[in-house]
Every structure is written in structure tokens, then in C-alpha cells.
Chain A
Amino acid sequence: MRKNKVVLSIFLVFLTIFLVSALLKTDISYGKTEAITYTIADATGDWGYPSPYTHYPRGPGYVRMSFIFDTLLWKDETGFIPLLAQKWHYEEKENAYIFSLQKGVSWHDGREFTAKDVIFTFNYIKKHPTWMVDSSIVEEAVEIDPYTVKIYLKELYAPFLNNVACTLPILPQHIWQEVEYPRGFQKDEALVGTGPYRLCDYNRAQGTYLYQSSPNYYLGKLKVERIKFIKVSEQMASAALKRGEVNASSVPPEAVKDLKRWGLQILTCLGSWNAKLMINHTKEPLSSRKFRQALAFAINREEIVKITQRGYATVGSTGLIPPSQEYWYNPNIEQYSYSPAKAQAILESLGYHRKNGYYWKNGEKLRLELLTSPQFAGFIRLAELVSQQLEKAGIAVSMRILDSKSLDVRVGSWKFDLAVSGHGALSGDPFILNKVILGKDFISARYDKNELLNKLLSDQLHQMDREKRKEMMYKIQKIYAQELPALTLYYPTWYWAHDGSSNLYYTQDGIAFGIPIPLNKLCFLE
């Protein structure tokens, strides 16, 4: 009789789980999203206390803060739109922007919003720098009248509207004037803004946020009363969307087809991030522009997209700016389409000859070291493929896997030949080119050997005429593609799925300075 007791008890354990869970299912109505609550899934969860100084210095942290704090201007699908500033114009003679502010706007604590708050904010960030805005560009902020401010710039600065007016959250003077250490200021008052939502709860451990709509938002009524951010891993996001537990989430590319079948709407983000091959252009033979071009011909970027990204990416443009940046992208530059023959011709013109499958020069085998790290998904596979392609073209490659920090240091101190790296911020203002071409960080190509390129990069920052700036950007891409101080391999495609209850969209040039997340707070307006 007792023989089967233990076997039976195992079954009983399973049966109990089964029954208890089924029982609980009928009792707790968890996850049922009411019409007025919008739930957003996030794989990381915690992005910090959403005040301008305490959210984590990443895009999702900024977005959580942007629900509470408004900026002077904002962007939607089409471009700049008014927010705290009703109107704005640029005074060329004085190199200043004049903003006419909205009247009748109040802070969440009922106090009136005026020009004084704007002036205060510009002064405050000079004393307490933030990660999102470079306040050194601003010479002075002056109050013309209680609803007009004039911002004098130190020098001509083309990205001002995008990088400052659309990005800098305006702080209430009556609260922040007393705050000496803003990063430590985490009281309720730190979250008094003029934005459409107020924070009801933030749980660091659970990675959850709850927002409640502000009753008298100056741009109109909000159709979504409550916004919830909950932590859901990327793998489970599809299941959560199907179950109706969340309204929106970023999803892995492989899930897109299935989610479409379930009637979910898909948003696609092309080209905000790029994987690139860093090239040590300070040492032989990579210091030769022609040699770098031969490398580009030898690398099959289409195959890389197909194999390492399973097709969910755009082939990298040699001019760095992705084709999805339609306004700035120059389609007429040399793209170095895969051509082993051309690579061979260049290498031979440089004095290399092929023997036993590899190129040799002065009795030495052409050999390069390729560094990679497991920091980003697929980077090891990517490096393996690049190695194979170069080997096929006659260049011996030894691949080395380092931890990401060691790789960054090696690249930063020029102790490498080739390295696989990557960075984002390509969906915002193209000023990013200055940082990733001339910048001094390991993320940058640190290439200043072309005088014309240096001049164009510096001049475009000061070119206030958008069309003329575009012309300059076209030239910059052309020269960059010729010089090839680094080679962009691909831009991965990112997907978001949502149930359509709110009209989510990707903001033109990204939220604020260029965040590629389709959670623009204005999506939730009626």
C-alpha cells in the first residue's frame, strides 16, 4: 500500500500547485488593466528617482522624469512644438533666443510658473551641472517680462533648440533655490513640476513607478489617468502583452510576427545605435587611408547583418549617420560594397603580395589583432565573422576576447589594431558626430588628420541655417567615408509593441536630446 506513497506525494505537490494557482486565479484579478490605466513593461525596471538630478543618466531615466517636468520646447512626430514656451525666435544680431512663455501654468503645488523659474533653472545648472545639458553654451538668461525670457548664447550653437530648449527640465525656483546638493534631494518636493503627470509611487527594489495625471494640465485633458511602469523581462514581454497585463513594451525582433497576429501594433526604430569597427589609425599599416578602404571592401556588412543580427538591422553607412536620419543622411557617398577584388587591388597597390592565402610585405605576414568583448549581445559572434571575412581576404586576424573595461582601456590608449565597439545617440541632433569623430573618449575615432573635416565639424555647430548645415553634414559624411577612421557595421532595429489604446510614436529626432523610446508624454493627451 505504501509503496506508491512517495510517488503519489510528488504528484500531489504538482496537483497542489495546479489547484492553488487555479483557485487564486479566480480570486485575484491581477493585471487587469483598466481603460484609464496604461501599463508599460520595462526589462530593467529601476531607472532612479525621477527628479532631474536623481534619475539614472540613461534615456529611460530621462523619460520617467519627463512625465513630471516640462521643458521650454518639445518634439512630436514632425518636429519642434511649443511646451512651456508658446513661441520662440532667434535674434541673429544678439545671438539670443527669445521665448514667450505660456500664461496660467501652475506648478503641481499650485504656485504660478513664470520667467523667474526659467532664469533660475539656467543659473542653477551652471552651479550644479547635469548630465543631459551642457550649460556652458549659455552666456546669460535674462527676464524681459514675467512671461518672456531671452537666452544669450556664448557662441553660435546650432543644436540649441534640440539639446537645450527641448532637453532642460525647468525647475520651480521656490523649491530648488534652497537645495545645495541636488543629487541628494529626494523629498516629495523634488518632484514638483509642470508636467502632465505626478509621481504617486516609486519602488526601487521592485522597479515600479506609478504616475497620476495632473488635473489641470495646461495643454489639455489627459486620456490616460494613471501610468504604471512595471518590470518584465524582455523574454516575457510578449506573453505579458498577449495577456493584456501591459499595454506597451519593447520586444525582441523574433516576437514581432507573432505579436502582429495577436493584433498588437508594432513600432520600429531604425538606426539609433551602431556597432562599429574601431581602427587604430595611428599605427602602420592602418594609418594608411587606402589600407582602411581595403578593409572596408573586404568586410561584407550585409552578411554580418544577416548572420549576427538575423536580418534585424540596417547595413552600416560609411558616413556614420544612419539612412533613417532622412534629413541629414547623405546617400551619395562611397559605401565600399563588398568586393574582395577591390580589396585585393588596393592591397597589391600598397606593395603586398599574396602567398599561401595571406598577404606579405617585406617578408612579414599581414597580421592584425581584433579585440572584442561580451558587453553587447552578439559581439563575439560579430568579431568571429569579421575575422573570417578578413582571413578570406588574405589578412591574418587573431581575435581576442577581453572584458569590456579592459577593451575600453586598450582602445583608449591606442593599444589595439581593430576592435568591435558601439554607441548610441545617432537618432538626435547630428552634433554627435563631433563627439564620436573628434572627441577624446575611447568611444570616439579621435581622428583629426583631415583639416577640412575638422573645420566642417566645428563650423556646422555654429551654422544656424538648417539647409546650409545640412550641406555641411553631407560633406562631413563624404570625407568621413573617404577617411574611414572607423567603420560602422550595422544599426540594429528595435521594436516596440503596443495595444493601440494610446497612439504611441517615435519622436522626430528622439525625445529631448534624442532618446529613441516611443513614450512621448504627449501621446497620452486627449
Chain B
Amino acid sequence: MRTKIINYAVAFLVLLVLNFILPRLMPGDPLSAIYGEEVLVQMSPELKANLIGRFALDKPLWEQFTSYISSLAKGDLGYSYYQNAAVSEIILAHLPWTLLLMGLAIIFSSVVGIIMGIESGWKRGKLMDKTCLTGMMTLSGFPSFFLGMMLLLFFAVTLRFLPLQGARTAYGNLTGGWIVLDVLKHLILPLTSLTLAEIPANYLLTRNTMIINAREPFILTAKAKGLPDSKVRYRHAGRNSLLPVVTRIGIKLGIIVTGALFVEIIFSYPGVGNLIYTSLLMRDYPVLQGSLIMVTAFVLLVNLGVDLIYKKLDPRT
């Protein structure tokens, strides 16, 4: 157990060093990176001199690294000169929207995927199984952003039922429950596209395990006891088919922050994915670096969590 934690700590340290070194290996001065060449055209010479002074990296590398680590330890992810705000503050403003979107998508896709997988696996070879399997195989070929575009074109542009983008109506004078409804309404399309894109993997995994489990002697015993079909299916076979799906959901949780990147861009949903995209366009490197650190820390943390939980769940260990 201790070695596992040490492994994670080493991995995290390597990531920190990479995150520190990479921007310093970038060609050119940070000024043009931060302000972009459009502004260099307009910028006055005195401001340029002022900014060059601010970005002076004249200390030895080791000192820079220690100050970087100590500020990270204080939760300081850096400062975005472009957005003129602390990186942690910027990320925190976007994080809840991504968590809402991805969290719900993971829950829905898991529930639907598992139920469909159980039903389908139980009735292997029947018409319903075949239809589901074909449908899911087809669906799994579509990436989430493609589904998103299709849904957007159909429900928002053509039918005009749903908002074109954003997470809420800007200055719509809404109060109380209407705000919740408004947020839900904006959530429907991005959530549906992410959920639909995630269902097939969960479905296929559950279905496979279900088929294997259905042949096990304990299922025969359960049936012989005269238990109702649904109980055998869910309590006995279904429950035992969950383990691999749980692993997959664990992995998915790790990338919860960036998983919705494309969908967020399509729907202009103000999550972390959209933030990363805008920062890339504006060459706002501090924000990109901050997001990277946060995402990697999150992935490592979730992996560690899953590892620890597994230890408790798995009777063989």
C-alpha cells in the first residue's frame, strides 16, 4: 500500500517538473505569447519595457523551481496576465459547469448502459438483443461532438425548441425555480450528446459480463429456487456484472474535467474544456499550465482512490 502511494507521489512530482520545464523551453519571449502579435503592433514602447521587466526570469533555475513549488503548495496555480486574474480563480469559475455536465453524463450513461446491458445480455441472440447490439455498435461509432452537432442542428436550429448555447440565459430576469429550469434547459443537448456517446461502452461491457455470468451455476441455482426472473437477472447476474463497469466509471471520473471539451466548445458551455480552448486561442499559457496541473492531479487522485477502494472490495486481496 505504501509503495502504491509513493508511486503516485513520484508520478506527481514528474508532472510538476514537466509543467515547470516545458514553458521555459518554449521558443521566444513570453511577452508575445501573452499578448499576441496583434497587440505588439499597437503596444507603446514604454509598456513593452515595463512588461519585459515583469517577466524577467533572471534568477537561477533552482530558485525558480523552489518558488514555483512553494506557491503551488499554497494553492497558487499562477497568474494569467491576459485575463488579469489568478489562474485558480479562473478555473474555479468554470469547474462547476463541467462537473455538472460530466457528472450527470456519467451517471445517466452508466444507469442506462448497465440496464440495457443486463437486459440485452440476458436475452442473448433474441431480436431485442440483436437490435440493441446493432444500435449500440452504430452509436459507438459517433463521437460526442458529432452527436452534439446533430442534436444542436435538429432541436435548436431547426425546431427552435432549445437554446443554441451557453449554460443559462444571460440576464433573463429569472428567479428561483425558473433559474433551475433554465439551467436544465441549456443542459439537455450537451448532456444528451455526452450521455449517448458514453452509453455504448457501458452497455457492451455489461452485456459481455452478463453473458458469461448467465452460464454460471449460481444462476441455475437461483432459477431452481423458483425466484422470479427479474430477481435472478438483477440481484444475481446483474449485480455480479457490475465490477468491470465500475472500473470503467472510475477511469471516466479521472477525465471528468476534460472529457467534455469538444461538446463544451460546440455548445459554448462555460466549462473547463471551453476555458482550455479559449486559452489556447489566446495563447494564455498560465491558464493552460494551471489546468494541466489540476487535471493531472485529479486523474492521479481518482486512480489512487479507485486503487484503495478496490483493495476493500476485492475479496481476493
- With a cutoff of 8 Å between Cβ atoms, the chain A residues found around residue B281 in the complex are 44
Is residue B290 within 8 Å, beta carbon to beta carbon, of the partner chain? no
Q: Report the tally of A-B residue pairs with Cβ distances under 8 A.
A: 190
In the complex, chain B residues 37-74 whose Cβ is within 8 Å of any chain A Cβ: 37-47, 50
Q: A136-B46, A409-B28 are in contact. Are A208 and B171 (CB under 8 A)?
A: yes
Is residue A150 within 8 Å, beta carbon to beta carbon, of the partner chain? no
Give 1 or 0 for each of B243-270: 1 = CB within 8 Å of chain A CB.
0000000000000000000000110101
Once the chains bind, are B35 and A136 in contact (CB under 8 Å)? no
CA distance A409 to B85 in the complex (A): 28
Is residue B302 within 8 Å, beta carbon to beta carbon, of the partner chain? no
- With a cutoff of 8 Å between Cβ atoms, the chain B residues found around residue A439 in the complex are 41
| B contact residues, total (Cβ < 8 Å) | 71
Q: Report which A residues bind B (CB closer than 8 A).
A: 2-7, 9-10, 13, 17-18, 20-22, 24-25, 27-28, 30-31, 44-46, 48-49, 54, 56-58, 129-136, 183-184, 186, 201, 203-208, 210, 226, 228, 230-233, 236, 239-240, 243, 245, 404-406, 408-409, 412, 423-425, 432, 435-436, 439, 441-443, 513
Given A6-B116, A21-B161, output 11 extra A-B contacts at Cβ < 8 Å: A2-B123, A4-B128, A7-B135, A13-B192, A21-B188, A30-B185, A134-B45, A206-B167, A208-B170, A233-B266, A236-B164
Q: Which chain B residue lies CB-closest to A240? A: B164
CA distance A318 to B16 in the complex (A): 49
Q: Which chain A residue lies CB-closest to B33? A: A405
Once the chains bind, are B157 and A58 in contact (CB under 8 Å)? no
Q: Report which B residues bind A (CB closer than 8 A).
A: 26-28, 32-33, 35-47, 50, 82-85, 90, 93-94, 97, 112, 116, 119-120, 123, 126-128, 131-132, 135, 152, 155-157, 160-172, 174, 178, 181-182, 184-185, 188, 192, 265-266, 268, 270, 278, 281-283
- With a cutoff of 8 Å between Cβ atoms, the chain B residues found around residue A45 in the complex are 268
Once the chains bind, are B38 and A424 in contact (CB under 8 Å)? yes
CA distance A348 to B266 in the complex (A): 53
Q: Which chain B residue lies CB-closest to A27? A: B181
CA distance A9 to B136 in the complex (A): 13
Between A and B, 5 residue pairs with Cβ closer than 8 Å are A17-B192, A18-B155, A204-B83, A405-B27, A435-B41
Q: Which chain A residue lies CB-closest to B168? A: A206
- With a cutoff of 8 Å between Cβ atoms, the chain B residues found around residue A204 in the complex are 83, 85, 90, 93
Q: A133-B44, A201-B171 are in contact. Are A408 and B32 (CB under 8 A)?
A: yes
CA distance A270 to B119 in the complex (A): 61
Once the chains bind, are B128 and A7 in contact (CB under 8 Å)? yes
Per a CB cutoff under 8 Å, which of A4, A28, A405 touches B181?
A28
From B47, B128, B155, B188, residue with most partner A Cβ within 10 Å:
B47
Once the chains bind, are A7 and B182 in contact (CB under 8 Å)? no
Once the chains bind, are B40 and A231 in contact (CB under 8 Å)? no
- With a cutoff of 8 Å between Cβ atoms, the chain B residues found around residue A406 in the complex are 27
User: Closest 3 interchain pairs by CB?
Assistant: A134-B44, A21-B161, A205-B93
Per a CB cutoff under 8 Å, which of A20, A208, A409, A425 touches B41?
A425
Once the chains bind, are A130 and B27 in contact (CB under 8 Å)? no
- With a cutoff of 8 Å between Cβ atoms, the chain A residues found around residue B161 in the complex are 18, 21-22, 24-25
Once the chains bind, are B83 and A10 in contact (CB under 8 Å)? no
Once the chains bind, are A443 and B40 in contact (CB under 8 Å)? yes
Per a CB cutoff under 8 Å, which of B32, B50, B132, B265 touches A7?
B132
CB distance from A41 to the nearest CB of B (A): 10
- With a cutoff of 8 Å between Cβ atoms, the chain B residues found around residue A183 in the complex are 84
Per a CB cutoff under 8 Å, which of A7, A24, A441 touches B185?
A24
Once the chains bind, are B163 and A31 in contact (CB under 8 Å)? yes
